[in-house]
Amino acid sequence: MATNKSAFSRRSFIKGMVGAGVAGLLPCRFLVPQAQAAAFDPEEFQVFRNACPRNCYDTCSIKTYVKDGVVRFIEGAPESTFTRGGLCVKGYAYTRRPYSPDRVKYPMVQDGRRSGKWRRVSWDEAMDKIARKILELKEQDGNLLGLGMTKYSGNFGITNYAVEGLMSSLGYTTRFVGTPCWPAGIDAQNYDMGNMWCNDPEDMVKSKYIIIWGANPAWCSVHTMKYIMEAKRRGAKVVVVDPVFTQTAAKGDVYWQPKTASDGALALGMARHILDKGMVDRNFTDNHGLGFGEFADYLRGNVTVEWAAEQSGIPAEEIRQVAEEFASADPATIWIGYGMQRHTNGGASVRSIDALVAMTGNVGKEGGGARYGHLQTWGFNYNAMIQQKPEGSVGFVGGAAKGEFDFTSGSEASYSDRTVNINKTAQNILDTKDPALRMLWVSCKNPFGQDFDRPKLEKAFDTLEMVVTVDQFFNETVANSDIVLPVTTLFEEWTVNASYWHYWLGLNEQAIKPMYEAKSNIEIGMALSRKMNELSPGSCTFPQEPDTREWMAKEFNQGIYDLFGIDDWTALKNGPVKAKLASSASWSTFQFGTPSGKYEFRSDICKDNGHMALPEYMEPRKSYDKFRLLTPHTKFAIHSQFLNLDWMQEYDKQPYLYMHPEAAAEKGIKDLDMVRVFNKVGEQKVVAKLTTNVAKDCLLIYEAWFGKGSTFNVQNLVDDESADMGEYKAGAPGVAIHDQFADVEKA
């Protein structure tokens, strides 16, 4: 039966891939899988609602068709005007995940890290080993701060905050906090506007001028492409700014390939020209802005278009032309991608681009906006995360402020969890003392795939006495663990997903029974709680038995119901719902969240936090090797997810280094030569592909994991240098992923 169902699903996937591949180049209406739908009689299937839990702009609502307890077919939810029946190539590969032969099927113990000597154990045996180690830590250290938890966005379903909840239910622990994704930009937008809040992406159809600055939606947000293409059909001009000529760039009217990390200079050069031409929206700057006069003085005193041209490599005349076109279009918008703030000057650059949008009066306008992201629809109860510490828990004194969900009082009120920067995982494992980190719990994350300085991370993991990883596949973090626990896929668990980009809300129902012995993060927490209390009554407060559907109800509140116009969460079984927005524009009332209530061209909070008060230019990180090294996501993967699947590898079999033919010629490298890329962090052998899509001074390697047996890992070449901003709102600075440098030679 397994063979038949896999073959059946694989054909569906290939058809979907054709649609999704086209989506990279064409509007997403082409994604509607009519050919697939025609092959099915929906009456034969049980239909469930799922929601893609990947860390992706699109957060697709999915319709899942199940027959005989097997997922047979999926499609994008047609009810959502955003998803509109389609998924991306990764989404269509989902049906392979629960049934992959490579899946972690049972709890397993490895006899010797990286030995590959895994043996199956029962859940009871696995929990016993883990619980005894936790109790040993507590006994020896007098607290549980030696237990660390690192978790990120491998599964964004809200109930997966049970991982944090489990740690809280054990006591005060060490948490890896912050985000590698977008913190510099979040801080920048908070300094400027008092929050990160973007327009509804569906209103891009109203835009007359769209600048896509450091984003590649043709790969990373395929559903947004249809709005961009529709705006284009209606006459909008599309400018793409990216150090790589991407599929999105191929669809633009103008393509700029600036020197990497010169975005701030480019934006300021445009701002200076708009100022000189008298094209500033004085109504906005006078009535809704603070400090524009100072910003204008800064521009006049420090910025010229010629200087911006020299810094960015974009000709001055082109800067002038685009600046004038942008300022005269109504409305005009800029999509600020996350890649462009992953620099040591990333936050400063975002502030400069925000200022460009604001000074032209495009903030607060439908079809306008400085689009970065939002968390407006994330007002859940986070019930899974809220767990009481066991009585008598001893924590960290003098650390981070008490958390929102910390209910301790009296002498315990001074305790907190210990927090360390998630973007310096390796260094923090090595450096943290009193007590040292001795045990690590990894969930919804693959540190070896997505954290930085992999060689150092391996050394750091070797200092840990026990590593427990909760995962679906035997990735490199699992190889560096002692115990792996099998976790459910989206089809096997209940949860709910919101987006940080669009305004739809999607339910994720359990569509099939968990395969093999997989458990959800909630169920894993319950299993550990049972064992902890068996061995040491009262040592864990995590609930032990409730039905996981009950956890769903506890995540919702009247605010969410009102925002989405539903009476109960079960209404989501009928399909995704969209927030009832007063306007598709963020900040449409011009009541900003800053101290002044205005758009702050000059931010005193920014200055107090050690940055420049104005959106001034900040020098990029100094190069430490011959080429700049870029390691963005590929179309076929998000970090280590998806490309390990055999189906996906039919389309993308191996990694490549992409470099410019002239740079390659200087190094004696020919197309498809095996090369060695190396820098101060480490090295990586990979096959070279020559392309003029990459600038002469850049090397490009897409980040992905190609499955068991593959030793490819771009984190062998990426250090953990911090971005300029991020600590204000995310708790730790971002990481300068794209300020990396390396050399290359023929292997």
Q: Which residues bind ligand SF4 (CB under 6 A)?
A: 52, 54, 56, 58-60, 87-88, 90-91, 222
Minimum CB distance to ligand SF4 smaller for 221 or for 541: 221
Q: Give per-residue burial for 628-643: e unless 16+ CB within 10 Å, then b.
A: bbbbbbbbbbbbbbbb
Minimum CB distance to ligand SF4 smaller for 188 or for 218: 218
Q: CB of residue 350 vs ligand SF4: minimum separation in angstroms?
A: 23
Minimum CB distance to ligand SF4 smaller for 59 or for 432: 59
Q: Which one-letter amino acid corresponds to residue 532?
A: M
Q: CB of residue 492 vs ligand SF4: minimum separation in angstroms?
A: 17
Minimum CB distance to ligand SF4 smaller for 54 or for 273: 54
Q: CB of residue 20 vs ligand SF4: minimum separation in angstroms?
A: 8
Structure-token match 């020559």, residue found: 690
Structure-token match 């794209």, residue found: 738
Q: CB of residue 94 vs ligand SF4: minimum separation in angstroms?
A: 7
Q: Which two tokens stand for residue 713?
A: 């890992």
Q: CB of residue 540 vs ligand SF4: minimum separation in angstroms?
A: 34
Q: Which two tokens stand for residue 565?
A: 């116009």
Q: CB of residue 74 vs ligand SF4: minimum separation in angstroms?
A: 9
Distance CA 647, CA 644 (A): 9
CB distance 339 to 632 below 8 Å? yes
Minimum CB distance to ligand SF4 smaller for 59 or for 416: 59
Q: Which two tokens stand for residue 233?
A: 């059909």
Report the residue closest to ligand SF4, judged by CB. 91
Minimum CB distance to ligand SF4 smaller for 58 or for 230: 58
Minimum CB distance to ligand SF4 smaller for 16 or for 346: 16
Q: Which two tokens stand for residue 124?
A: 């009871």
How do the residues of the chain divide into helix, strand and coil, expressed in percent and rounded to 5? 35, 20, 45
Q: CB of residue 273 vs ligand SF4: minimum separation in angstroms?
A: 37
Minimum CB distance to ligand SF4 smaller for 93 or for 613: 93
Q: For 601-639, what is the HEC assignment?
A: CCCHHHHHCCCCCCCCCCCCCCCCCCEEEECCECCCCEC
> Which residues, in sequence order, are bridge partners of residue 659?
690, 699
Q: CB of residue 736 vs ligand SF4: minimum separation in angstroms?
A: 25
Q: CB of residue 53 vs ligand SF4: minimum separation in angstroms?
A: 8
Q: 3-class SS at 305?
A: helix
Q: Which two tokens stand for residue 177?
A: 């906090």
| Residue 521 buriedness (CB in 10 A; 0-12 / 13-18 / 19+) | buried
Q: Which one-letter amino acid corresponds to residue 402?
A: K
Q: For 336-348, what is the HEC assignment?
A: ECCHHHCCCCHHH
Minimum CB distance to ligand SF4 smaller for 246 or for 722: 246
Minimum CB distance to ligand SF4 smaller for 24 or for 194: 24
Q: Which one-letter amino acid corresponds to residue 692?
A: T
Q: Which two tokens stand for residue 670?
A: 């020919």
Minimum CB distance to ligand SF4 smaller for 530 or for 578: 578
CB distance 335 to 238 below 8 Å? no
Q: CB of residue 397 vs ligand SF4: minimum separation in angstroms?
A: 42
Q: CB of residue 644 vs ligand SF4: minimum separation in angstroms?
A: 15
Minimum CB distance to ligand SF4 smaller for 123 or for 372: 372
**Contacts by residues 11-18 (CB-CB < 8 Å, ≥ 24 positions apart):** 12/36, 12/72, 12/73, 12/92, 12/95, 13/92, 13/93, 13/95, 13/96, 13/647, 14/647, 16/87, 16/89, 16/91, 16/92, 17/89, 17/92, 17/651
Minimum CB distance to ligand SF4 smaller for 418 or for 633: 633
Q: Which two tokens stand for residue 734?
A: 């971002």
Q: CB of residue 368 vs ligand SF4: minimum separation in angstroms?
A: 25
Q: CB of residue 505 vs ligand SF4: minimum separation in angstroms?
A: 14
Distance CA 440, CA 529 (A): 17
Q: CB of residue 248 vs ligand SF4: minimum separation in angstroms?
A: 14
Q: CB of residue 202 vs ligand SF4: minimum separation in angstroms?
A: 15
Distance CA 106, CA 281 (A): 62
Q: What is the dihedral of CA 521, 524, 530, 535, to 10 degrees?
A: -120
Distance CA 486, CA 707 (A): 17
Going by C-alpha positions, the residue among 177, 135, 155, 81 that lies closest to residue 575 is: 81
Alpha-carbon radius of gyration of the chain:
25
Distance CA 449, CA 413 (A): 37
Structure-token match 């059946």, residue found: 8
Q: Could you tell me how many residues make up the chain?
A: 747
Q: How many helices (H) and strands (E) does the chain have?
A: 26, 29
Q: Which two tokens stand for residue 438?
A: 């001795």
Q: CB of residue 85 vs ligand SF4: minimum separation in angstroms?
A: 12
Minimum CB distance to ligand SF4 smaller for 377 or for 594: 377
Minimum CB distance to ligand SF4 smaller for 219 or for 295: 219
Minimum CB distance to ligand SF4 smaller for 59 or for 679: 59
Q: CB of residue 595 vs ligand SF4: minimum separation in angstroms?
A: 36
CB distance 636 to 89 below 8 Å? yes
Minimum CB distance to ligand SF4 smaller for 87 or for 698: 87
| 107 prior amide bond cis, ω within 30 | no
User: What end-to-end distance do the CA atoms of the chain give, in Å?
Assistant: 46
Number of Cβ within a 10 Å radius of residue 705: 24
